[in-house]
Structure 1
Amino acid sequence: MRQWSRGGRAPLLPLRLLKVPTVSAGMLAGLLVNVGLSGVLFALPLYFQQARGYEAHAAGLALLPMTIPLAFNPILTGRIVGRVGARLPMAAGFALCATGVLTLAAATGETGYVGHLIGLLLVGFGTSLAIPSLMAAVMAASPPEWTGSASGALNASRQLGATLGVVLMGAFLGQAGSTEAGIRSGFVALGLVLSAGAILAWSMIGRGAAAIDVQVVGTALYRHTSNEQSSAIVPQKLAPVQIEVKSSAIATH
């Protein structure tokens, strides 16, 4: 596959694309954010049912505070990215996710729901900041002819992260003496993973940046992603503004 990617006329993943720092770091960041998100989505319903005695429908409803920001906040995130660039909201999103997961870890010994509510809201807002910002940064840093490959590679890395998140939490739950202990130690591990994502987003993605018209990102996203996904990242009514991308990426165009 490596030889075909180098010499083929239409490689599935052009290896030169991985030399763009924002793209390669963005793929790793995409993996990390989905490790955290999928780990929470997998383990927390089990905790509510096995440790708290919730019915299945009640355990599902308990996750609702996390899904509300995921549904509405990406629209605001697109405007933030258009004004200040992707780096700050991305790093802030990872930091909020890490704080939320650690809050959930601390709340496992509590009898009430308030701690879980706060943690879920933080994870929801953090994810809705991190993922749209990450997608915008990677798309903007990719040469126009490779945006499809970049989008596919980012989504593939996120799916791999989702698998690893389930595996990680399953390992902690399987080795722990109780559900509470497994959730607590597993969520601490997820918090560390997401903290590493925040450091990666701040230090590697969007540094040494030049400017590019946000409409370039919008065009690429509408070509290679769904309309709903791309409009959440780059609102159609947003006037042409600037976002930050790697100057080294522009040099490869």
Structure 2
Amino acid sequence: MNQPPQGPNAPAARLSLPLDSSRGRWVIVGTVLGSGIAFLDSTVVTIALPAISRDLGGGLVVQQWVVDGYLLTLSALLLLGGVLGDRYGRRKVFTLGLVAFTIASLACGLAPTGPVLVAARLVQGVGGALLVPGSLSLIDASIRGEDRGAAVGLWAGLTGVSSAIGPFLGGWLVDAASWRWVFLLSLPFTAAALWVTLRHVPESRDPAAPRRLDVLGAACITVGLGGVTYAFIEVPARGWEPVGVVAAVLGVVGLVAFPLVENRRRDPLLRLDIFRSSQFTGANLTTFAVYAALSGALFLLALQLQQSLGYTALAAGVATLPITVLMLLLSSRMGALAQRVGPRVPMTLGPIVAGAGLALMARIVPGSSYWTHALPAIVVFGLGLAITVAPLTSTVLASVSGERAGAASGVNNAVARTAGLLAVAVLPPVAGVSAGTDSPLGPGFGRAMLISAVLCGLGGLVAFATVRRGQPVHVNPLPGVHHACQAPCTSQQPLEDTRGTRS
């Protein structure tokens, strides 16, 4: 494999741009535009699912694939995307991600059939895997150390706004125009991000990046997640046809092979020895439980509000807005509280409160009132998430040594994305949700909410058993950076670290 260019004209490993300089501000603009469209896309698509199903057909299966097609390639390739940026150039990989995301968004907006839309969503996930890790890595590599915390805080705030307006904007676009505009909306923003990135953002790469890419590991996890996801979505609808059997077998083989491959690679995507920390392992188990419950429940809630209760897309987007508001208002305060009292209490209490909100959502059925049934459940659920997320992220980072914080953040993000992917595939058939095009979800919705509630509660119990009582050491993958959580939807995750999984 060719080595990166060396010498005086080679891209820098790290620059030192002041945040208040012209070039520093352009770096923020480019990264906010690039990552903001990925977060915005994730929050608007769920609201558009009933309209997509009405137009293209396919019922629940197509709706699941529209969400999971994106999450599949994103979660499988997210770690590789960070390593590619370090190895070949962060701006270059970020730009490739923007191009792939733009082309795929156009294809989504013009898709004539459900399978074409799903294929385009798979490509969108590839673009996201190149794009999202690169946004913070460009800030980390370009902005000087004393300004980096403020730069990432500005980045988090602006991308948080894009996520917050997603459900409202998506609902308005679906009702006023077409679900296709949910995807086409990103095109002017990606064009602007490309212009800013190519003209104003400096190139950088890590001279210590792995010489060999772990392609085999990436292939194993992609085949594993893809096979299992296909089996859980398609088998309940089609039965155990040969293709379903093959997909299930390949999925299991890929997932079993992944840790075996990683344990033998010199430069693996995932260093398994990081899981020797029981607190790190426990925090990631909590992450998996909470984000699986979150993703599966909000996926079905968007369908329940529109297909069973008759909400418009805009009304469904506004209905879940209190979750976003609570997250934006309380997450930083909960993080500060956890620094004072330790993470164990909020990480135990938060998932239990969120689980109580999910249990209350089982009461959101045809004929129920938004003010007495939906709103209390949504508020309790949002409060639980606000209590949980910031302490969870800081605990993940504090459970490993400082030089491994980048690996810890990357693994935690992959766990959260994978949890959402599997929840959307698994929860509907397990709960007995079987809906045709624009048809009510039936009693399976209530069972799904109760299953999600139990899953959240188990996450809290795992945190109680594994998280230490004391205060977490204040560790961040970027100097002066506090991790944050974006507005909730199927992609509500901690911010991606910029350095892949290398320690």
- TM-score bracket, normalised by the shorter chain, equals 0.7 to 0.9
What's the CA shift string for 1:110-162, capped at 9, x where partnerless? 52112211111111111122121111111001112211111111111101111
AA matched with 1:127: L
Q: Which residue of 2 aligns with 1:63?
A: 320
Partner Cα distance (1:188, 1:199) in 2: 17
Match runs of 1:35-114 below 5 Å: 35-108=292-365, 111-113=368-370, 114=372
| Structure 2 gap ranges (5+) | 1-216, 218-258, 487-503
Q: Which residue of 2 aligns with 1:127?
A: 385
AA matched with 1:229: H
What's the CA shift string for 1:232-253, capped at 9, x where partnerless? 9xxxxxxxxxxxxxxxxxxxxx
Bigger drift between 163-172 and 139-148 goes to 163-172
Q: Which residue of 1 aligns with 2:419?
A: 161
Question: Which aligned segments of 4 or more residues in structure 1 are displaced greater than 6 angstroms?
Answer: none
The answer on whether the counterparts of 2:342 and 2:472 sit within 8 Å (CA) in structure 1 is no
Q: Which residue of 1 aligns with 2:465?
A: 203
Deviation at 1:96, TM superposition (A): 0.7
CA-atom RMSD, angstroms? 2.6
Q: Structure 1 residues 8, 169: closer, same or farther in 2, change over 3 A?
A: closer
The answer on whether the counterparts of 1:65 and 1:124 sit within 8 Å (CA) in structure 2 is yes
Larger Rg: 2
The answer on whether the counterparts of 1:43 and 1:169 sit within 8 Å (CA) in structure 2 is no
Q: Structure 1 residues 36, 64: closer, same or farther in 2, change over 3 A?
A: same
Question: In the alignment, is residue 16 of structure 1 matched against residue 276 of structure 2?
Answer: no
Partner Cα distance (1:111, 1:60) in 2: 18
Partner Cα distance (1:228, 1:72) in 2: 15
Deviation at 1:197, TM superposition (A): 0.6
Partner Cα distance (1:5, 1:42) in 2: 32
Q: Structure 1 residues 82, 228: closer, same or farther in 2, change over 3 A?
A: closer
Q: Figure out how many residues of one structure are paired with residues of the other and give that number.
A: 224
Structure with higher RCO (Cα < 8 A, 6+ apart): 1
Q: Which residue of 1 aligns with 2:242?
A: none
Deviation at 1:229, TM superposition (A): 2.8
Q: Which residue of 1 aligns with 2:450?
A: 188
Deviation at 1:44, TM superposition (A): 0.8
SS in 1 for 2:364: helix
Higher helix share: 1
Percent identity of the aligned residues?
A: 25
SS in 2 for 1:108: coil
What's the CA shift string for 1:194-219, capped at 9, x where partnerless? 11111101111225x5x5642xx1xx
The answer on whether the counterparts of 2:284 and 2:412 sit within 8 Å (CA) in structure 1 is yes
The answer on whether the counterparts of 2:291 and 2:420 sit within 8 Å (CA) in structure 1 is yes
The answer on whether the counterparts of 2:435 and 2:441 sit within 8 Å (CA) in structure 1 is no
Q: Which residue of 1 aligns with 2:109?
A: none
Deviation at 1:170, TM superposition (A): 2.8
Q: Structure 1 residues 38, 136: closer, same or farther in 2, change over 3 A?
A: same
AA matched with 2:452: L
Partner Cα distance (2:472, 2:407) in 1: 20
Q: Which residue of 1 aligns with 2:288?
A: 31
TM-score normalised to the size of structure 2?
0.41
> Of the candidates 384, 394, 399, which is equivalent to residue 141 of structure 1?
399
